[in-house]
């Protein structure tokens, strides 16, 4: 199936710096979900975006869905060491429960 590209693949920041990961698709997305996977752990659902231009916030995390519904972003303000992990976006089909996961962005945070 068509892969969902994420950039960057990897980012290393100092604690307190901001971080953004981008998710891009060549086709229009019906919805986008975001997951976080801690090192050695399993993906955990964070949020879902459905509407064009939608913006949702969870504490220091801000999620956006592009106006054309072809891209999405996750921004973390003032990173903490607890933010370490790999962040995945996942596109839905719109009609079924299947998801296609993006390539992931691995975030490393150091003091």
Partner 1 sequence: DAGVIQSPRHEVTEMGQEVTLRCKPISGHNSLFWYRQTMMRGLELLIYFNNNVPIDDSGMPEDRFSAKMPNASFSTLKIQPSEPRDSAVYFCASSFSSSNQPQHFGDGTRLSIL
Binds partner 1 by CB under 8 A, chosen from 45, 52, 78, 80: 45
The verdict on 96 binding partner 1 (CB under 8 A) reads yes
Of 24 and 48, the one with the shorter C-beta distance to partner 1 is: 48
Cα distances (angstroms) measured from residue 70 to each of 21, 28, 42, 85, 110: 14, 5, 26, 24, 32
The verdict on 62 binding partner 1 (CB under 8 A) reads no
Cα distances (angstroms) measured from residue 24 to each of 38, 54, 86, 106: 22, 16, 17, 16
The verdict on 95 binding partner 1 (CB under 8 A) reads yes
Binds partner 1 by CB under 8 A, chosen from 25, 33, 72, 105: 33
Could you tell me whether strands 105-110 and 10-14 are parallel, antiparallel, or unpaired per DSSP bridges?
parallel
Of 16 and 38, the one with the shorter C-beta distance to partner 1 is: 38
Of 9 and 80, the one with the shorter C-beta distance to partner 1 is: 9
Which tokens is 98 given?
A: 């299947």
DSSP assigned state of 4:
B
The verdict on 30 binding partner 1 (CB under 8 A) reads yes
Vertex 87 angle, CA 1 and 25, to 5°: 35
Contacts to partner 1 by CB under 8 A: 1, 30-31, 33, 41-45, 48, 50, 88, 92-101, 103-104
């Amino acid at each position: 199936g068509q892969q969902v590209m994420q950039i960057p693949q990897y980012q290393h920041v100092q604690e307190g710096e901001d971080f953004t990961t981008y998710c891009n698709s060549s086709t229009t997305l019906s919805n986008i979900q975001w997951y976080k996977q801690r090192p050695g752990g399993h993906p955990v659902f964070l949020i879902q975006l459905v509407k064009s231009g939608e913006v949702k916030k969870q504490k220091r995390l801000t999620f956006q869905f592009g106006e054309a519904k072809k891209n999405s972003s996750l921004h973390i303000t003032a990173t903490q060491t607890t933010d370490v992990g790999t962040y995945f976006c996942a596109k839905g089909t719109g009609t079924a429960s299947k998801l296609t996961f993006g390539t992931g962005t691995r975030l490393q945070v150091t003091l």
